[in-house]
Every structure is written in structure tokens, then in C-alpha cells.
Amino acid sequence: MAQYPNIAAGQRITGQLLRDMQPTYIYKTVNTDRASTTTLTNDPDLTVDLDANAVYMVEFCVMLGGPGPTKTAWAVPAGSDGLKGVQGPASTANSDDGISMRTGSHNFGTVVTYGYRSSGAGNLEFIQESGLVITTTAGTLAYQWAQVTSNTTPARCGRGSWMRVTRVQ
């Protein structure tokens, strides 16, 4: 079984080698608000560059909400292979408690719609998405999101949302 990085007997342990062994954590220190747009756009914080010909385990834990349902997708480097698993409030959910949930497995670019809490953008839903990304070319991995229906009241991706990316091959 392949392991990353491959460490040969007698190989010198360097700072770069030790860094390559660690997952990358990225988190939001401030909220990002988007109003009056239904166009999926990369989150300004939840993005990272991936190497070519590599395999990554990717996890997103996102606090997302707004005046109505929101939608998400992943931007991945061209030619990437794999699936994402998703779980969060069902697209028809619109309450603070006892809501229906959705779960599924999708292609990276598949748009996933999540419900919302009736009390608005300040009260966010918790969404988890994860998957294995197999790259053939280098490029950017980014979490994309937008409102489902344009509204002047903004949707929000909340501070404290995070991603973890671990190269495994």
C-alpha cells in the first residue's frame, strides 16, 4: 500500500519532509456574507492548492445559513477523480429544531442544496462534506456556495468553518 511521503531507510529527515506528513488545516476567522447572488463562488478562505498526480483526503465542516436555502459544490483541479459525501439539513428544512437531514454521495461539481434555520443568517446550520480527491493536474480545491434564490438579505459562511486536507499518496 502506498503511503505519503515515501520514506526510504537511511533517508535524512528534513523540516520539509515532516511538513509533508501533516494535514493542512484552513479555517475562517471572519464571516463571509453574500447577498443577491445565486452564482456559486469559491469561498475566499476555504481554498487550497493541490499537487498533480496525488491523492488527498478532504473534509469540510461549514457553518452556513441565510434567509433561505443555500447551495454548495466543490471546485477541483481539472481531471480530478473521486466523490464527495455530504450531510446537513434537507433542502426543505426551515426550522431551528427537529429538522429533516440529507445525506448522499455526489460528484464534486454536483450542486447540493441545504435548508436553513427560520431565524435567519445569524443562526447557521452545520454541514459536513468529505471525500477523496485524486488529481492528475495541479490546481485549486475550493468550497463554493451561494443562495438558491437571490435575496438582498445575505447568506453567510460563518467564522469557525474549516477544512482539513491530508495528502495520502
pTM (2 d.p.):
0.91
Give yes or no for residue 101 having a pLDDT over 60.
yes
User: For position 17, what pLDDT does the model report?
Assistant: 82
Asked if 73 contacts 151 with a C-beta cutoff of 8 angstroms, the reply is no
- Is residue 105's pLDDT more than 70? yes
55-78 average pLDDT score: 96
Asked if residues 157 and 125 have their Cβ atoms less than 8 Å apart, the reply is: no
Break the chain into its structural domains and give their ranges.
40-167
Which pLDDT score, from 0 to 100, does residue 92 have?
82
Determine the Cα–Cα distance for residues 151 and 116; give it in Å rounded to an integer.
14
Q: Grade residue 25 by pLDDT with cuts at 50, 70 and 90.
A: very high
Q: What is the pLDDT of residue 120?
A: 58
pLDDT digits (tens, 9 = 90+) for 26-63: 999 999 999 999 999 999 999 999 999 999 999 999 99
Of residues 102 and 52, more confidently modeled: 52
Q: At residue 4, does pLDDT exceed 80?
A: yes
User: In the sheet where 112-114 sits, what is the strand order?
Assistant: 41-50, 139-147, 70-75, 112-114
Indicate the average pLDDT of the chain: 92
What pLDDT is attached to residue 31? Answer: 97
Q: What is the mean pLDDT of residues 89-107?
A: 85
User: Around 120, how many Cα atoms within 13 Å sit in the side-chain half-sphere?
Assistant: 7
